[in-house]
Amino acid sequence: MIRLGAGRLDRVVAVGAHCDDIAIGAGGTLLTMCLARPDLRVDALVLSGGGGEREREERAALAAFCPGADLRLTVLKLPDGRLPTHWDEAKTAVEELRERTEPDLVLAPRTEDAHQDHRVLAKLMTTAFRDHLVLGYEIVKWDGDLGRPTAYQPLSPDTAERKVRLLQEHYPSQRHRPWYDREAFLGLARIRGIECHTRYAEAFAATKLTLDLGE
């Protein structure tokens, strides 16, 4: 398998429709990048969950998933499960995020995600960040919408275990969910690892890539 790098990463954008989306979909990738580049700037936006327990969980969690980074997190209060009817507010939030950063990499939901909130955000991101590398992360759920990824970030066993530990530690409000457990998170990472010839990995959908093969 060919491994392509994105060059030096100084700024990363990470977005989620809900608190915990970013950590579930790309927590291992954030850990990998931030541990390698302690001065990385991470601009994070979450559209729902603001003002309560979920926001407190998210702030503590992303601080742990982005060690040493310049983390700038915004958590809004749009209603969970109703983002399609709050498209204007979501679009404004994404446009404001775009105005304040010029990222080297964008981590966002997949446009093929079965959850309506995830899809709305995914489509807004690929429109607002037209000239950027946008990687769509995956979230396991009952919909059975996992597809065939086109990009992989290998995770060391320590990083994969750390991701699972942080998910369990920082999101107590989600522990009652039947899919929110070590087996689900580590199992998917193991499958994606098999697909890219490593032990563990996170997988992404690359919406569009521009190659420079002349140098």
* Domains and their CATH numbers in the chain: 11-206 (3.40.50.10320)
Helix (H) / strand (E) containing 128: helix 116-128
Task: Select from 125, 98, 100 the least CA-distant residue to 111.
Answer: 125
Distances in whole angstroms, Cα of residue 109 to Cα of each of 13, 16, 140, 176: 12, 7, 12, 23
Name the band, by pLDDT with cuts 50, 70 and 90, for residue 13. Answer: very high
Examine the pLDDT at 3 and tell me if it is beyond 90. no
Work out the pLDDT band at 1, boundaries 50, 70, 90.
low
pLDDT at 29 over 70: yes
Confidence label for 61 from pLDDT (cuts 50, 70 and 90): very high
Q: How confident is the model at residue 6 (pLDDT cuts 50, 70, 90)?
A: low
The first and second tokens of residue 91, run together, are 């679009």
What is the chain's alpha carbon radius of gyration, rounded to the nearest angstrom?
16
